[in-house]
């Protein structure tokens, strides 16, 4: 029986203290997985065929297009013909667990393959060797067909209920991902609203056209100033709003936070938040 070295962790005690230490032991080696080896070989063959197809298609279509444009542009455009159906085939592989999603890249890949084969055939006809054009076009067809067989072999068969369950899971995950930019947009919009309110409130305090009447206390709020929901903002949010409004002085930021939150903040807390904002902005 063949064996192979395997590392295991075992407890080892020295002076009353136990640690897990690695040791190497010989364990029976698993039997050779011929199915996996054959599949790897077939995948390698498909990769070689695909490479040969891209080279032939690029050379053929590039020579065809070079009759009208310069060679760098011609061969650069020629490689697109094969890359198009290869990319569609890759997307089909990624969607192999969802037959509905895999259908579109499969159809698009077939269309791109037909276009590439027609271009290769047109080159053979123009060059005066239509037989070579047909055989050359079949190279791309064989490459696509071989990869289709490989993809189909590695696509697990799923019943309708299982596919529906997978689609539901993907839909839930997609909804969670979609909410991330939406939440960011809402937060940015709310921050702009809060900053605008803060700017209006600050401007009203410094430049009111209607001074306090003699019978009003100087500490009473002006009736024309709209309060920004005292207590509704956290200290960190208020500092951020002050920063967005152009406040860079710690004492001015502390006075603003005290105004909009309704309580006197700690100078150390204000200084810490302002340092963080300067670091991000710098």
Residue pLDDT, tens place only, 258-267: 888 888 888 8
Burial class (CB in 10 A: 0-12, 13-18, 19+), 54: buried
269 in the same domain as 239: yes
Has residue 75 been placed in a domain?
A: yes
Question: Does residue 143 lie in a domain region?
Answer: yes
Per-residue model confidence (pLDDT) at position 81: 92
Q: Is residue 166 part of a domain?
A: no
Domain count, the chain: 2
User: Domain range spanning residue 118?
Assistant: 35-156
pLDDT of res. 252: 87
Does any domain span residue 30?
Answer: no
167 within domain boundaries: no
Within a domain: 6: no
Residues 149 and 43 in one domain: yes
Could you tell me if 183 and 132 lie in one domain?
no
Which residues in the chain show pLDDT less than 50? 206-228, 230-231
Residues 184 and 233 in one domain: yes
In a domain, 42, yes or no: yes
Task: Specify the pLDDT at position 203.
Answer: 53
């Amino acid at each position: 029986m063949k064996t192979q070295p395997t590392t295991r962790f075992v407890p080892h005690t020295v002076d009353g203290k136990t640690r897990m230490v690695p040791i190497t032991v010989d364990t029976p080696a698993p039997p050779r997985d011929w199915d996996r080896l054959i599949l790897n070989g077939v995948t390698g063959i498909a990769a070689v065929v695909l490479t040969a197809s891209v080279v032939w298609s690029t050379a053929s279509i590039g020579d065809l297009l070079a009759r009208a444009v310069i060679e760098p542009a011609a061969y650069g455009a020629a490689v697109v013909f094969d890359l198009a159906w290869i990319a569609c085939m890759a997307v089909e592989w990624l969607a192999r667990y969802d037959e509905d999603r895999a259908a579109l890249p499969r159809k698009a890949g077939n269309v791109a393959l037909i276009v590439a084969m027609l271009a290769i055939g047109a080159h053979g006809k123009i060059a005066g060797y239509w037989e070579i054009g047909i055989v050359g076009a079949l190279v791309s067809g064989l490459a696509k067909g071989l990869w289709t067989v490989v993809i189909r072999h590695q696509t697990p068969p799923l019943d309708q209920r299982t596919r529906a369950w997978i689609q539901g899971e993907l839909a839930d995950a997609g909804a969670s991902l979609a909410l991330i930019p939406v939440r960011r947009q809402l937060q940015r919009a709310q921050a702009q609203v809060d900053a605008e309110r803060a700017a209006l409130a600050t401007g009203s305090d410094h430049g009111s056209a209607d001074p306090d009447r003699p019978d009003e206390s100087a500490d009473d709020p002006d009736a024309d100033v709209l309060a920004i929901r005292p207590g509704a903002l956290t200290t960190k949010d208020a500092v951020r709003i002050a920063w967005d409004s152009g406040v860079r002085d710690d004492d001015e930021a502390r006075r603003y936070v005290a105004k909009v939150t309704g309580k006197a903040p700690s100078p150390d807390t204000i200084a810490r938040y302002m340092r963080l904002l300067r670091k991000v902005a710098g």
